[in-house]
Structure 1
Amino acid sequence: MSVKRQVSVNEELDSLQSRDDTQFYNKVSTVLDRIIDKVRDTEERLTAAEQSKIDQTISSGSKSNKSTTSSKKKAENPFKMPEIPPLDNQIDEKQIKITPKRKLIKKPVKEPTMEEVLDALFLLQREISDIRENQKEMEDQIKQIQRLIE
């Protein structure tokens, strides 16, 4: 009977590793938000550049063709898309490293009672269900962001 409990505890602990997945989803969503913001800024710059180009062509209508061609060359620069660095550069290696949250216990510890073990398992199950809900929400948010990007 204790072997079955040990196996179930190990399974619960394995499922707790999904917390790292939620952290990854959080990082991905922040990176995607940054990309979306950059795209919006670029679109605003493009519309402003187009408007200034129209204004320049209207004001320089009486000028020679040389001045209009040089203004066209100058106006083309804002239309270039800014380079977006790869995602690998945005995430620090320090953020990826997993550090243990608990220190190793060096002193011998008394065996927990059955009641304490059951209470701990109940709390673990509650945390796991919360984590799974959060993971589903994050997956939904990522799908929405992907739809927006497409």
Structure 2
Amino acid sequence: MPLDMPESVLVRFKGKMQPGITLRDLVHAIPLYAIKQGLLTVEKKGKKNIFSGRILEIEGLPDLKVEQAFELTDASAERSAAGCTIKLNKEPIIEYLNSNIVLLKWMIAEGYGDRRTLERRIQGMEKWLANPELLEADARH
């Protein structure tokens, strides 16, 4: 059965995030540059929106914290995008998973939820942490 995937739009940030620049600034930079390139219009008549119904693929911010990456990708809905991905380095993901493991172990100790379910989640995270591997575009396995 064929899988119909929406087209994607590559959003590539260059350089380092400068002091004083917020995540919200990055969110607003995406439509700003699309407007400058004529790919997005503000006027309703003859509306252009390169992002509408497409997947945003964000690159160039590999060291964002996972929570920041979530906030940035979540904002893709403001562009009427179908979804969004962001390419991160392993380090912020490792940091996030280690933090989550601590939280889940605390939840188990406090009797929260189903212990077996939480333990399975921990095991899955620890398995990935033992051999961290990120997805790669067009990878062959």
- Report the TM-score when normalising by structure 2: 0.27
* Structure with greater helix share of residues: 1
Per residue, is there more strand in 1 or in 2?
Answer: 2
Higher relative contact order (CA 8 A, sep 6+): 1
Give the TM-score, by structure 1 length.
0.25
